[in-house]
Amino acid sequence: MTATPFVPVVQYKTEDLDGFQMFYREAGPADGPVVLLLHGFPTSSHMFRNLIPFLADRFRVIAPDLPGYGNSAAPDRAEFSYTFDNAAKYVQKLLTKLGVTRYAVNVFDYGAPTAWRLALANPDAITALIVQNGNAYDEGLDNDFWVPIKRYWADSSPENRDALRGLVTLDATKFQYTDGMAHASRIAPDNWIVDQALLDRPGNDEIQLDYFLDYGTNPALYPPVQEWLRKTQPPTLIVWGANDVIFPAEGAHPYKRDLQDIEFHLFDSGHFLLEDRADEVFPLIHDFLTRKLG
């Protein structure tokens, strides 16, 4: 008799977190080890739409949309502070409401500084790390892409703010999905169409510019994050698109300085590695989590 194939069911939920509506995707057994997936700019939990069911056979997967992204609330910036401190605060509120105290976490792009704040606040909460083009070292920001952003950090004048508006346009969004990809035919146009529709909501461009400014708070956290890595030694899987011009491979190698239990993989791919190399990366993640979380 042929075994019945496992068919994962993904649920799409919204939690009220003290008046803030946070959307998240969830799948997998309720009693399974928790895997938290944290997205980056300019996307949402949509970027994990294929990975979630791949992991759901044995892991409880939770993928929230950060404030101002996806289907989570995007309050007026006059009433809500779009900072990574706030992003982490609401992710923690969600985890607390769901009864989650221990979890593995996938960090990508903006998901990295969000996760680092969670780790520094609760050093023993994280059971394992999957690092996908997520930075924790100065070397990862020492490239041409960050020059105008660093200028904005130093002087948040209207001129320097306006100079970054090109980063929230369709051309820039499509570029992030397609640049450096070895297999362009694998990149679904839905990605940049969905992301751009959300970026184009009235006022969302200003939200993104606020996040660009607040990203300047992250380098000061790198030394304590590196100390946390050295002290807690979370099992870590690095899966990194080596052709990413935003977070290049120079930001991946330093993890090897601080971590002992590390599995390191660079791919001929770009920023959104999961779109280009799912057939290779998904099994690596599943196998890693199976071995490290049991």
Known catalytic residues? Answer: 271
- How many helices and strands in the chain, by DSSP H and E? 12, 8
Where residue 180 falls (left for φ over 0; alpha for ψ -120 to 50; beta otherwise) is: left
Structure tokens at 49: 């739409």
223-260 burial string, b = 16+ CB within 10 Å, else e?
eebbebbeeeebbbbbbbbbbbebbbbbbbebbeebbe
CB 24 within 8 A of CB 64: yes
> DSSP string spanning 156-185?
--HHHHHTTGGGGSHHHHHHHHHTT-S-GG
Task: Determine phi and psi for 127, rounding to 5 degrees.
Answer: -90, -25
Q: Which residues contact 183 (CB under 8 A, 6 or more apart)?
A: 276, 277
Instruction: Walk across the sheet containing 126-131 and list its strands.
Output: 10-17, 20-27, 60-64, 34-38, 103-107, 126-131, 236-241, 262-267
Residue from 269, 279, 108 nearest 179 by CA = 269
Q: Which residues pair with 61 in a beta bridge?
A: 27, 35
Look up residue 9 and give its DSSP letter: -
The whole-angstrom separation of Cα 112 and Cα 225 is 11
